[in-house]
Amino acid sequence: TYLDQIKQQDARIQAFLHVDREAALKSAKAIDDKRAAGKEVGKLAGLPVAIKDVLCTQGVRTTCASKMLENFVPPYDATVITKLKQADAVLIGKTNMDEFAMGGSTENSAFHPTRNPWDTALVPGGSSGGAAACLAAGMAPLSIGTDTGGSIRQPAAFCGVSGLKPTYGRVSRYGLVAFASSLDQVGPMGHTAEDCAILLDVIAGHDAKDSTSANLAVPKYANSIAQPLAGLKLGIVKEHFGTGLNSEIAAAVQAAVQVYESLGAKVKEISLPHSKYGIATYYIIAPSEASSNLARYDGVHYGYRCEEKTMLAELAAEKASLESKNDKEGLRKLDNSLIRLYRKSRSEGFGPEVKRRIMLGTYTLSAGYYDAYYVKALKVRRLIRGDYDAAFKDVDFIVGPTTPSPAFKLGEKTDDPLAMYLEDLYTVTTNLAGVPGMSIPCGFTTSGLPIGLQMQSQPFDEERLLRAAHIYQ
Ligand code: GLN
């Protein structure tokens, strides 16, 4: 059914980068046979799961929506993929995203943008735009996204689905292509909090292959999802209702909060005083880490390599011209063929947003600016975490809008990186603090676009966070 839906819908939505129909049917058949043979089947037996194309899948192309990795076929599975396979899920396809997960609209994909199923003139959000759109269009029941600064929650909000960014360390990052390692988390996406709980049950847990993964017991999220929560205390962040917030989103979020109140929750206004520095801090730390992580794509070890013949011919021509002018300085500065190869491969392999981040990050990590930018950002990050710690002394959950505005038009923000970065206003502090955050649907604008409600909780409290979301749904 889902494969047929992909056939019918995906030419229009373009949520997927690759779907191997035969492979998916074969793996579904194998699970059926296992069941028929009376063998025990896994928790996700036969359920199709779509995977953001940033997670390594053995023998299946993993591109990160980049020309750099266009033909990269990983020789191993990410831990999350291993766990899904052990649970007998059917991996139905790899979904589109912003290149290397940098962006908030899926327009930075090197291959094609994805469209929002609610209105195909609009973006699905990003960077996990394909993973959210395939759910909204009924092309998969469950998907896996990643979230470094909002990339699960913002597309979930734009597409009217649910998504959870777990606590940093809850889900293994082994086999996840790194963007900003101290912020990246893999997380579940589905229609409801219950869907997310079912997936999180499978993917969460300690992994010796990821030194930052937490060695903590994993609760049974799906089993406990319907248990009531008594004496709920919700905090509304006053900084989240300032200028820039769309009034219909503000009204929908307030209405959702009233639903909780009517069910007995206590609601309190709180402050995250350093949240106004969230965007600035994130856009120093994330590019710094990205510039370092992306240094590995040199065109030599693996990934895209420029056409060597052309490169050597260009080098020879430049050299000849400098020699004919007897330009000694120019000749001295001329890159050798190896440096040329790196430079040309990276220039051709990376898209504009990735280059922008590499340049920003290289600058903020450079000897002269390291203290002024990178170290300063780390200090502010600590203060942001402190804000959360203080807030959670008073309240169980922090509730607010996921995004300042609903889904926007394709092309609307592509020439304005700052406008695009402001999309992440309410989501980046979650990653900077390392706490879990969810987005669940909470209504529609008058023009019929989905609105997301963001809920955040204390670290490693996903169990209660999912329950709290389930109460509303
Ligand atoms: N939109 C943010 C960025 O561009 C977040 C991306 C993400 O979470 N991967 O960095």
pLDDT digits (tens, 9 = 90+) for 205-223: 999 999 999 999 999 999 9
Q: Where are the beta strands (DSSP E) in 332-383?
A: none
Q: What is the pLDDT of residue 89?
A: 98
User: 126 CA distance to ligand 1 centroid (A)?
Assistant: 7
* Average pLDDT, integer, range 468-473: 95
For residue 136, name the pLDDT band (cuts at 50, 70, 90).
Answer: very high
* Known active-site residue 276: no
**Atom number in ligand 1 closest to CA 283:** 10
What would the two tokens of residue 164 be?
């959870």
Which mutation among 151, 177, 289, 293 tests ligand 1's pocket best, with the greatest number of atoms within 8 A of CB?
Answer: 151
Q: What is the pLDDT of residue 1?
A: 96
For residue 301, name the pLDDT band (cuts at 50, 70, 90).
Answer: confident
* Known active-site residue 288: no
Q: What is the pLDDT of residue 384?
A: 98
For residue 225, name the pLDDT band (cuts at 50, 70, 90).
Answer: very high
Beta-strand relationship, 266-270 and 185-190: unpaired
Catalytically annotated residue among 52, 83, 85, 94: 52
Q: What is the pLDDT of residue 419?
A: 87
For residue 255, name the pLDDT band (cuts at 50, 70, 90).
Answer: very high
**Atom number in ligand 1 closest to CA 104:** 1
| Tens of pLDDT, residues 271-295 | 999 999 999 999 999 999 999 999 9
Q: Where are the beta strands (DSSP E) in 3-123?
A: 16-18, 48-52, 90-95
CATH architecture designation of domain 2-277+393-472: Alpha-Beta Complex (3.90)
For residue 244, name the pLDDT band (cuts at 50, 70, 90).
Answer: confident
Share of the chain above pLDDT 90, in %: 96
Catalytically annotated residue among 27, 151, 172, 275: 151
Q: Kindly tell me the sign of the dihedral angle through the C-alpha atoms of 331, 333, 339, 341.
A: negative
Residue spans of the domains in the chain: they are 2-277+393-472, 298-349
Q: How far apart are CA 48 and CA 140, in angstroms?
A: 6
Q: How far apart are CA 471 and CA 48, in angstroms?
A: 26
**Atom number in ligand 1 closest to CA 286:** 10
Q: In angstroms, what CA-CA distances link 314 with 54, 178, 197, 320, 370?
A: 34, 33, 55, 10, 36
Note the ipTM here: 0.97
What would the two tokens of residue 122 be?
């609009």
* Average pLDDT, integer, range 442-446: 98
User: 149 CA distance to ligand 1 centroid (A)?
Assistant: 5
Residues with CB under 6 A from ligand 1: 101-104, 127, 147-151, 179, 286, 424
**Exposed (0-12), middle (13-18) or buried (19+): which is 269, by Cβ within 10 Å?**
exposed
Our CA dihedral for 93, 99, 102, 105, rounded to 10 degrees, sits at: -70
Listing from the earlier edge strand, what are the strands of the sheet with 266-270? 16-18, 90-95, 48-52, 142-147, 185-190, 162-165, 437-444, 450-457, 397-401, 233-237, 266-270
Q: What is the pLDDT of residue 243?
A: 83
Q: How far apart are CA 430 and CA 451, in angstroms?
A: 19
**Is it the case that residue 302 has pLDDT exceeding 90?**
no
What would the two tokens of residue 130 be?
């394909």
Mean pLDDT rounded to a whole number for the chain: 97
User: 184 CA distance to ligand 1 centroid (A)?
Assistant: 9
* Known active-site residue 127: yes
Q: What is the pLDDT of residue 153?
A: 98
User: For the packed helices 337-349 and 308-324, what is the interaxial angle rounded to 10 degrees?
Assistant: 120
